[in-house]
Amino acid sequence: MVPHALSTFALPLLLLPLAAFSQSVSFKKDTGICETTPNVRQFSGYIDLDNQKNDTFFFWFFESRDEPDQKPLTLWLNGGPGCTSMIGLFEENGPCLVNDDKESTSLNPYSWTNHTNMLYIDQPFGAGFSAGRKVRTNKEAAKYLWHGLQTWFADDAFSKYANRDFILASESYGAHFGPVFTSYFKSQNKKIASGKVKGVPINISKLIIGNGKHDPMIQTNATITFAIDPPGYDPIVTNKTLIQETEDAFEKECAPALSKCNDGGSDSECNDAVKICTRRVQLPMWGNRDPNDLRITDDGNKTSEINDEDYDEQSAATHYLKFLRDNKHKVGAEGKSFDQCDSGVHARFSGSGDTGRSAINDLAEIVEAGEVDVMLWVGDADQKANWVGVHEVVSQMAWSGNHAFADAQMESLKLDDQEVGQYKVIDGPPGITFVRVYQAGHQMPQYQRKTAATVFARFINGADMGETDSSKVGKFRPSRNVASGAANSALPAGTNNLTAFVASFIVLLTFV
């Protein structure tokens, strides 16, 4: 087990062929770092999986500020692949914001902890403060994360959250992580119910993907459309010769390469396809604008289309890096360095071809099954995963509501008499919620925290998206499976730690 100078709940070694495994959770609690609301608890530290490979996930958990014993558990994962979930915590939806001095924090009034218990995990191994074996694919990452969650739920400090509704929220490459992880968690739940696997069912009831990179073919093509006419903004590219050359490059180079990749192509062919499409289509169509926010030129200057307040908040966002590096030992984090996004992790996933393969079918299967509510939301100033392309993904993917979705008109999203976006809801099952947020870039909640928090709360609470009063977000009600107590059925009566069933976790090796 990786040594941590923290309070540790250790578990007995499991004697297995070739390697000995142990699981433990070690953490510091109520440090006063970030969340300073009285009587709201927080824990940060490590989930250790394998003492041979030093596999360990860094996590940071915050109780809900309001009725934590009644609220669901939301897992936030940033994308990348290889980006730390501390981006989400400090820039988008966590309890605090780092001040301009980079040494102190202030409470975030729009923290998602107003509505849910929040768990942030750096994954896969190598992202943020996490460390361990070199994971290469989405499916591998799903298996290790599932095992990490099993270990976390088994600790006495967190076992009470095992029977809660589980909400998975991610963004960007999370369009791959989200559907693959959801499918794996659901498949493990079935094996637990049948007795093939011992563990705690993860009662995933909702999936949220922000500014997702779902399908390289559809979304790369939409890059051209968006550059010519980004709804609500001035054109990004006006050079007709460049536009024609880029359209030709898409048809003759990018599209064939992606088709080959997604028709059983090799890992290297998929990796090459991404490079071709990025170089020949995306980069030319991003013009001189920041791909994360078209309202900013690539030299960092503002265009006339950006609100000064939005820009100031966005430009100050990376203050958290210095703050976190300076305070890492206080929250139980280790490691000599900390990067927002690990290039080695990204390179391995690219080399596996996963970044070039479409995730659209994985998403379609989840939507069509109707067991998990899905929301896709997009900041409308994002170029990397523009909202027109994400909308087209939902319209084209193979699910029974695609025509109804394509034909439905967008409705105005108003909060406190201000129009902040548009939305459409296809009631299910199967159904989907789609939200366009005005004046927001790639990490949407970072730019429009109030809008994001309100929409998030309404989605998880099943409230009306059309309500104009931002204070009306509904009240959370547990899903049917959780309310019936199904989540506890996998454990013997009175068991709330992993000791009683640790021997069943051979799944870490066999990847059942």
Question: Any idea which residues carry the catalytic annotation?
Answer: 172, 382, 442
Query: Closest Cα to residue 418, out of 469, 356, 478, 360?
Result: 469
Question: Cβ neighbours of residue 13 under 8 Å, at least 6 residues apart?
Answer: 20, 21, 22, 51
Question: Cβ neighbours of residue 159 under 8 Å, at least 6 residues apart?
Answer: 153, 496, 497
Tokens of 72: 């669901």
- The Cα 337–Cα 314 span in angstroms is 24
Query: Closest Cα to residue 169, out of 291, 45, 72, 96?
Result: 72
- The Cα 86–Cα 324 span in angstroms is 9
Q: What angle do CA 295, 300, 304 make, to 5 degrees?
A: 35
Which SS3 state, helix, strand or coil, does residue 275 take? helix
**91, 98 contact by CB (below 8 A):** no
Its sign, for the CA torsion 498, 144, 444, 310, is: positive
Catalogue the long-range contacts made by 17-22 (C-beta closer than 8 Å, 24 or more residues apart): 19/50, 19/52, 19/509, 20/51, 20/52, 21/49, 21/50, 21/51, 21/52, 21/505, 21/508, 21/509, 22/48, 22/51
**449, 110 contact by CB (below 8 A):** yes
- The Cα 157–Cα 512 span in angstroms is 27
Beta-strand relationship, 373-379 and 432-437? parallel
